[in-house]
Structure 1
Amino acid sequence: MSPKNRFPLPLRFLVLGGAVALAGCGGGGGGSFSSGSGTLSVSMTDAPSCGFDHVFVTVDKVRVHTNPNADVSGSGWADVTVSPARRIDLLSLTNGVLTVLGQTPLPAGTYQQIRLVLVPNGAGALANSVVPTGRSEQALDTPSAIQTGIKIIRPFTVAPNTLTDLILDFDACKSIVARGNGTFGLKPVVTALPTVVSGAVTGMLSSAPGAQVYAERNGVVVKATMADANGNFTLSPIEQSSTAGNVDVVIVPTSTNGRGTGIVRSVPVVAGGSTAVATAAAPISLPISVFRTVSGVVTPASAQATIRALQLTGGGTFEIAATAAASDTGAYSLFPNQPALPAAAPVVGTYQTTLPIPLTADASAAGKYSIQATSTAGTVSTQQVNVTLSDVTQNFAF
């Protein structure tokens, strides 16, 4: 079966050079097994990255285990080894584009732990690097833990005589930490999703190419992408969830678009299918807006806080922007690739099959945001700001 036929139609593949070596080994505790064996295929995709033209990581292998607590040096691991290791530009993997890392046979059963192993930077060409917009290539420092793999806890099942497709979603925007000295570090945010339970949401914007587009559940981003030069976007893969329900599609244009936020609530996700919230014949039109900056300092810098800008509107709370405070100075700015938040009233509507979906401005929410800082210890601090008239400085202390 070809890769194209294994995934929902909106997923597109970017096949990069390099042979894939397959190494599988069964065993280990903590999981359940049935008779027979299946095959695991692993691919990678990405959310958009803020303020970078390129984000490169070099993948060595992907490891899986039946035990969520298995030690990395223990037995029972099965590896998908990329040989030679592959340097991938994550920013080429948006709007449903995937790159296939490889596949391996596995004993049928349930697997609990996944590790994405990157090659660390060394002498010679950079294995992991970023190209900030308007700047030259810079090294992307990776923590020592990368050598044992980025740990992802996500159960998935390999059925007998069946090919199981697993997608690793590397959120480059939330994974890169800018430091005050001009260097960059990797604080990896990676999720995994079996395609058997995933679907897609598509749309088109009339006047906002390059806009950030998020699929959210209860104000938490579950998938992100960026509208292309024609305003088209594809959010994929998104997990179909009977417990979490539909998703809210949140559109945040860049400051160069001069447009405000648009939100379409309660969009259904159908496994193996695609839901359209807008088309070329019925595109989404967004309000004109000026943009403001929210910036500040988190102390101590060792808190390594994640900053989110949330907006209450349309009966829900939605993430509009997020960034990481600099690990050496604690400084942050929302939004790194703009760097700003829309001051205009967001327009909100509820999904319907008949397009276009009506969107109505919520004047009461114009320029109002909750700025939320979360430390690595899990401590949360929230401050209310209003950017209607000017930029805002908001500091946090932990």
Structure 2
Amino acid sequence: MPTAAETLGRRNCIPILYTRGTHYEVGYDMGRTFSGIIHNFLQVADSEYISEYLEAYATPEGRQGYEDTLNCLKTNFPQYIRELEGIADGANVPFYKLFLLHMDNIILSAAQKKSNDQPTGCSTICINRKGQEFLGHTEDALASTLNHYYFVSAHIISEQPQGKWGVKEEKFTSLCYAGHLPGYTMSYNHHGLVFSINTLSAKHLRTGKTPRHFITRALLSAENFVQAQQIIRDSGCGAGDGCSINMTFIKQDGDRMFHNAEMAPASDKSNESHLNILTISPGESMFHANSYLRSKIEECNKLMTESSIARMDTFNQFPKPISEQDLKDMLSDRSHNVHQVFRDRKGDYVKTICVGIFNITERTWSLYSDNPKENEPMVVLPLQIKK
């Protein structure tokens, strides 16, 4: 039986919400505005993986892991818990279901249940040449996520410093999965930080630590590269799972630099994330997908790793990219007989739901709802940077 997402087909539609207020108010606006998309997504995704999270949550071990992780976040990032509560209230869905989405496979690990491995994950290319500075990204996810995403452009001002990093103001635009906090796809903030995320499948996950969804949410507040590293390292706690973060700061002093940070879970004896950062200097380019390239981390999702290796091999068969057209050609590639870069075959369990290209030189963000080699962007957003 085809999924509802496949029956609907790929839509040429990207909703966007502009909102301003407290963390709870911004969350409430997200939930209220996109309630229909959130409800539909939860229904479609239930058979794919949400039911597994609920089964794990129903076990004593899973429930303890849930509570330990929630209490950790209430201590370190209470503002983002309020934001997620706002989404749940606005959409009229149970908070625990949305929180389980943010725990992801951590809840399965807590209950000692094996995840349903699939070749999920995204591909990112950075080009750093004078006048040709780009970050391109395919947003790949389970097929149920197709058509279940939207833009959120938010301005949050708090009377008192919020959370462990004492943040009072945030202003950003982020592509969001339905029911999720901003930050875990591709985003930029008014300080000039531009970034994209690649999921990584570390084998040993940790409860009572910070899930990657919350670390990348906190990253939306970063004013500079030093702060970005501080947020990802998360000293005093550390990450509970892993991801790759590709980023640059538009307004940085000196030469343009891109960075790739491979983040892995904190160990039992550590209170900060395992972190490995690569800097891409002028004249260079960089590719990253969904396996650890430099960090010696044991991984568990065999299909994701195989897909990642295949996509990286595809990129390496191209000449060194030097332009936006090169970027489009590479992110649109369907040449591999199994693990394509742009994934849109009928029946695929994983789909490329959209493609984003940040033009750092011109300060624009182009989003494609379909293959960028064959289609015009659905929208080209200006990157609005704080003066």
The answer, yes or no, to whether TM exceeds 0.5 is no
Higher strand share: 1
Q: Which has the higher contact order (CA 8 A, sep 6+)?
A: 2
Higher helix share: 2
Larger Rg: 1
